[in-house]
Amino acid sequence: MVKVCFVTTDGRRVDAQGTPGDSLLALGQAIGMPLEGTCEGQMACSTCHVIIAPEWFDRLPGAVEDEEDMLDLAAGVTRTSRLACQIVLQDDLDGLEVRIPDEARDMQGR
Ligand code: FES
């Protein structure tokens, strides 16, 4: 199991357990995080934008150019932003911490 801590827009910490091979997006959605993932991992939206804790960012495999391009369009993007659909859980990501961007709040209930 890979443990991931999601930090919500109101600062709550929600722990989740994923399986290696799952996407971070699927795990977040499974526990009710407001990540729409409209394009289902095609890198054609940015509704799965998450902010990776700085100490974890460099430990993730880098983003491909298409992901970078999409992130450029995301609201509230930061230096450690990623698309959750592009992050595949692996054993060495156990303990990963990611934050839901404030902008995600606006998408809830649409
Ligand atoms: Fe659309 Fe991740 S789900 S880019």
The residue to which tokens 């977040």 are assigned: 28
What percentage of the chain carries pLDDT values higher than 70?
94
In a domain? residue 37 = yes
In a domain? residue 61 = yes
Q: What is the average pLDDT value for the chain, to the nearest integer?
A: 94
Pocket mutation for ligand 1, best pick of 27, 33, 39, 87 (most atoms within 8 Å of C-beta): 39
Q: What is the pLDDT of residues 47-79, one digit of tens each?
A: 999 999 999 999 999 999 999 999 999 989 999
> Token pair for residue 6?
């999601």
- Asked if residue 92 has pLDDT above 90, the reply is yes
- Quote the pLDDT of residue 104: 63
The finding on whether 52 has its CB within 6 A of some atom of ligand 1 is no
- Quote the pLDDT of residue 103: 74
The residue to which tokens 């709550």 are assigned: 12
In a domain? residue 108 = no
The protein residue with its alpha carbon nearest to ligand 1, atom 4, reads 43
Taking Cα atoms as reference points, which of 15, 1, 67, 8 lies closest to residue 35? 8
Q: What is the pLDDT of residues 23-42, one digit of tens each?
A: 999 999 999 999 999 999 99
What CATH number should be reported for the domain holding residue 66?
Answer: 3.10.20.30
In a domain? residue 109 = no
> Token pair for residue 1?
């199991």
Pocket mutation for ligand 1, best pick of 85, 88, 98 (most atoms within 8 Å of C-beta): 85
